Amino acid sequence: MRNIKMTIEYDGGRYLGWQRLSDSDKTIQGKIENVLSAMTGDKIEIIGSGRTDAGAHANGQVANFKTIATMEFPAMLDHLNRYLPRDIIVKKLEEVPERFHARYNANGKKYSYYVWNNPVPSVFERNFSYDYPGELDIAKMNEACNKLVGKHDFIGFSSLKKSKKSTVRTIDEIKIQKEGDLLHFTFTGEGFLYKMIRIIMGTIIEIGLGMTEPEAIDAIFKSGIRSDAGMTVPSQGLFLDEVYYD
Amino acid sequence: MRNIKMTIEYDGGRYLGWQRLSDSDKTIQGKIENVLSAMTGDKIEIIGSGRTDAGAHANGQVANFKTIATMEFPAMLDHLNRYLPRDIIVKKLEEVPERFHARYNANGKKYSYYVWNNPVPSVFERNFSYDYPGELDIAKMNEACNKLVGKHDFIGFSSLKKSKKSTVRTIDEIKIQKEGDLLHFTFTGEGFLYKMIRIIMGTIIEIGLGMTEPEAIDAIFKSGIRSDAGMTVPSQGLFLDEVYYD
């Protein structure tokens, strides 16, 4: 049995997210599984490194699947990209050991979030960023980011209910770069809770605007209450850039 | 009478080009005129700096129109961008002297053409570049560009028939930059003939591939025959970046 690792790029704008639902045609996983199943003649299930939200994008999502198909990689890649919709591309295929599992073996991820910080929107960026024209204090936002980096219980920055599963995560780095009118936020860490990056972004933006101070971060860690944090920013600015494996 | 200069950005993918046709809904000019006419209550005609091809894009198309409307610019800009489709944006409005004419007064233009030079396409670039995976010799292409710069009769690089109108143009600069997997070609000059950049690009690509030598450029200038030049590359890689005025 071959175990095949895929690196996948998608514009998530038209989809209900990564994870297959009963209506497989509206998810990235569903689209890829359908093409793989038709290609191999077997019902293929793929294991993604994790879900991405409805409307969110990826430059480097990773998934794996097992197959007895003997097709070689160049032909398989051609076939996939010919039959996948234009907004999903498999960038790379690699043979991996049978025990490789795209979710269990992932030991880190990098995400980007883009804010278009100009009162006039951009035709080319508007589907891939959050239009936020307000004046943002980058120094204050960096201060907030420094407080977020490290090992913390991020329950207040997630839409999860209290549960037995740990909500402690470690963020290794948050970077803010100004690229013309785009503000590019990069998050690197071992893993992120459901909606965590979008809620962190909403909180950082409120701090950048001066609505609250960077110290608000400490208070949210302390209370663990979702409503103490900022809004959930739209998914269209979010990209899964990379998944790390040993 | 006010004379108003607009700077316009558009994703031309869904349109039949800049210039209004009877079916105004499929042209950029038509879309903008419809919104301006509804806004002012008068039938507004806009004058573009020049046409752009069906499927080509713009970061900085310029147009002007005359109106007796007294609406102020921030309100006008908001109104336009609220009612224009998501793939057309007016970036700037400026009051200009009554004699200003976006076409007659333009004394230079800058265009970009993008080639995606990787066998695996990109979801995010594929609508804004020409997917061309072949290996391209940049030094050879630069040699060809050096021959194209200057004042020449570009009839062989256009789809125009011989006519009394001059087909002599001056190209000030052609630059090739490698931006990751994208090759970014920039053309600056006083003006360009119909399809001239797309035919030049097709010719440069054939030279980059080694199908012909840079000297082919001299031969095309000499013969003036369209079929001696290369293919017309697709419009989706073409951007009108800037229009220059005194």
**Choosing from B53, B153, B228, B246, which is the catalytic residue?**
B53
SS3 label, residue A170:
strand
Q: Do B86 and A124 touch (CB under 8 A)?
A: no
* Residues A156 and A208 occupy one common structural domain: yes
* Residues A31 and A121 occupy one common structural domain: no
Query: What is the percent of chain B where pLDDT is above 70?
Result: 99
Split into its structural domains, chain A has a count of 2
Instruction: Indicate the residue type of A234.
Output: P
* Residues B70 and B172 occupy one common structural domain: no
Q: Do B120 and A77 touch (CB under 8 A)?
A: yes
CATH assignment at residue A44? 3.30.70.580
Nearest CA in chain B to A93: B120
Q: Which two tokens stand for residue A158?
A: 């997630």
pLDDT value of residue B23: 67
Does residue A102 sit within a domain? no
Among A96, A117, A145, identify where a domain stops.
A96
Radius of gyration, alpha carbons of chain B:
19
Q: Pairing between strand B108-116 and B130-131? A: parallel
* Residues A88 and A113 occupy one common structural domain: no
CA distance B176 to B236: 18
How distant is the Cα of A77 from the closest Cα of chain B, in angstroms?
Answer: 9
pLDDT tens profile B20-31: 988 668 999 999
Residues contributing to the annotated binding site of A for substrate: 111
List CB contacts of A242: < 8 A, sequence separation 6 or more. Answer: A59, A60, A109, A110
DSSP bridge partners of B177: B184
Query: CB of A124 within 8 Å of any CB in chain B?
Result: yes
Does residue B75 sit within a domain? yes
Does residue A8 sit within a domain? yes
* Residues A232 and A146 occupy one common structural domain: yes
Confidence of residue A22 (pLDDT cuts 50, 70, 90): confident
What percentage of chain B's residues is helix, strand, coil (to nearest 5)? Answer: 30, 30, 40
Residue B164 has pLDDT above 90, yes or no: no
pLDDT tens profile A174-228: 999 999 999 999 999 999 999 999 999 999 999 999 999 999 999 999 999 999 9
Can you give the residue range of the structural domain that contains B77? 2-96
Q: What is the ipTM of this complex?
A: 0.89
CB B210: neighbour CB atoms within 10 A?
Answer: 12
Among B69, B96, B123, identify where a domain stops.
B96
Task: Tell me whether residue A228 is one of the annotated catalytic residues.
Answer: no
How distant is the Cα of A58 from the closest Cα of chain B, in angstroms?
Answer: 10
Query: What is the percent of chain A where pLDDT is above 70?
Result: 99
Among B96, B131, B155, identify where a domain stops.
B96
Which residues of chain B neighbour A94 with C-beta distances below 8 Å? none
List CB contacts of A16: < 8 A, sequence separation 6 or more. Answer: A23, A26, A27, A54
pLDDT tens profile B41-100: 999 999 999 999 999 999 999 999 999 999 999 999 999 999 999 999 999 999 999 999
Nearest CA in chain B to A127: B86
Does residue B102 sit within a domain? no
Query: CB of B91 within 8 Å of any CB in chain A?
Result: yes
φ/ψ (deg, to 5) at B226: -50, -40
Does residue A101 sit within a domain? no
